[in-house]
């Protein structure tokens, strides 16, 4: 919790302490006068039976004054909430290297499953799009809030094959985003670009448009020999990290299907949530007023006043 006006809280707290000191002093003077005109035995018995009442009265007053003092400082707390007007495009690599089996059952299959988890986890109201890319980029699902349609579209993602055009994928995905609000791209790939437009040029354009890129590198450190070739499927972590860093996003590595699933689930929560300050001054003010009313009731019922 933070205070927008801590000085106001400090002043109110000082006044509250001064008031309570006055109350205690006034009660002591009243007790001293009562002691002068009462029998000692009677006075001691009365105090023994009801000595909890002044303490309870003081505690209630302190609580109410403390709440009012905090309210004077305009307190607020921060909570996570879904972003308004958010649009996110998921880019899934379907190039030949995604057929590698170093991630079970293949990089491509694990990526498709993880994308489904992302769609399931995304807050309601967020618009999503899906782009598949190899040598060319293809919009599998245009921007929509229909989760069922998006999950069906995942089944239309082609089998792995061909080169990798990350720049074209980024450019195609950007066309699906809204013109305003929070916009982001989530790229699931092994990150070795070898076709199409230069990703760095596209990234610069997206950074200027305030579109964040979150990259997910799929594959183990040493890769795997791709079927039908003698080539090893590798991963270009440096490039993926640079794309993300340039736009305010971040890069994550996933070396197993479980890691990839966890990463995409976490991204669905973090990339589309924002931290909002919630004003709670009224809550403290009402709470303080209620406690103060209780203190008055106790005081009127027992005669416990300054």
| CA dist., res. 298 & res. 202, Å (int) | 71
User: What is the CATH number that goes with domain 84-271?
Assistant: 3.40.50.410
Burial class (CB in 10 A: 0-12, 13-18, 19+), 49: exposed
Output b/e per residue, 190-218; b: 16+ Cβ within 10 A: bbbbebbbebeebbeebbeeebbbbbbbb
Tokens of 55: 């303490």
| CA dist., res. 76 & res. 92, Å (int) | 40
| CA dist., res. 198 & res. 278, Å (int) | 43
Range of weakest confidence among 189-193, 210-214, 285-289: 285-289
> How much of the chain exceeds pLDDT 90, in percent?
46
What is the per-residue pLDDT across 15-45, written as a single tens digit (0 to 9) for each?
Answer: 666 766 676 676 666 656 555 555 555 555 5
Q: What is the model's pLDDT at position 236?
A: 86
Considering only CA atoms, which of 20, 103, 10 is closest in space to residue 292? 20
Q: What is the model's pLDDT at position 190?
A: 86
What is the per-residue pLDDT across 143-197, written as a single tens digit (0 to 9) for each?
Answer: 999 999 999 999 999 999 999 999 999 999 999 999 988 899 999 998 789 999 9
Q: What is the model's pLDDT at position 213?
A: 97
Rounded to a whole number of angstroms, the distance between the first and last alpha carbons of the chain is 34
| CA dist., res. 253 & res. 109, Å (int) | 16
Tokens of 248: 């305010």
Question: Pairing relation of β-strands 273-279 and 251-254?
Answer: unpaired
Q: What is the mean pLDDT of the chain?
A: 81
- Provide CATH 3.40.50.410 ranges for the chain: 84-271
Flag whether pLDDT at 293 surpasses 50.
Answer: yes
pLDDT band at 49 (very low <50, low <70, confident <90, very high): very low
Residues 6+ apart with CB under 8 A from 56: 298
């Amino acid at each position: 919790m933070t205070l927008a006006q801590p000085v106001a809280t400090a002043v109110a707290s000082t006044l509250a302490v001064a008031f309570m000191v006055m109350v205690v002093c006034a009660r002591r003077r009243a007790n001293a006068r009562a002691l002068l005109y009462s029998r000692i035995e009677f006075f001691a018995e009365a105090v023994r039976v009801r000595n909890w009442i002044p303490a309870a009265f003081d505690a209630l007053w302190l609580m109410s004054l403390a709440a009012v003092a905090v309210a004077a400082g305009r307190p607020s707390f921060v909570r996570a909430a879904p972003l308004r007007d958010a649009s996110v495009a998921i880019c899934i690599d379907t190039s030949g290297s995604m057929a590698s089996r170093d991630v079970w059952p293949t990089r491509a299959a694990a990526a498709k499953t993880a994308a489904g988890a992302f769609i399931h986890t995304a807050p309601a109201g967020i618009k999503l799009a899906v782009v598949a890319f190899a040598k060319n980029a293809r919009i599998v699902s245009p921007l929509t809030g229909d989760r069922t349609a998006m999950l069906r579209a995942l089944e239309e993602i082609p089998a792995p094959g061909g080169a990798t055009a990350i720049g074209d994928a980024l450019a195609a995905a950007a066309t699906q985003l809204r013109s305003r609000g929070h916009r982001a791209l989530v790229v699931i790939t092994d990150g070795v670009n070898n076709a199409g437009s230069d990703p760095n040029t596209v990234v610069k354009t997206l950074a200027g448009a305030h579109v964040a890129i979150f990259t997910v590198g799929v594959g183990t450190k040493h890769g795997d020999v791709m079927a039908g070739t003698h080539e090893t499927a590798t991963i270009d972590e440096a490039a993926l990290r640079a794309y993300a860093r340039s736009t305010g996003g971040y890069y994550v590595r996933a070396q197993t299907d479980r890691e990839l699933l966890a990463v995409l689930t976490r991204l669905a929560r973090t990339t589309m949530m924002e931290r909002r300050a919630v004003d709670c001054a009224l809550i403290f003010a009402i709470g303080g007023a209620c406690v103060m009313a209780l203190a008055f009731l106790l005081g009127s019922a027992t005669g416990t006043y300054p």
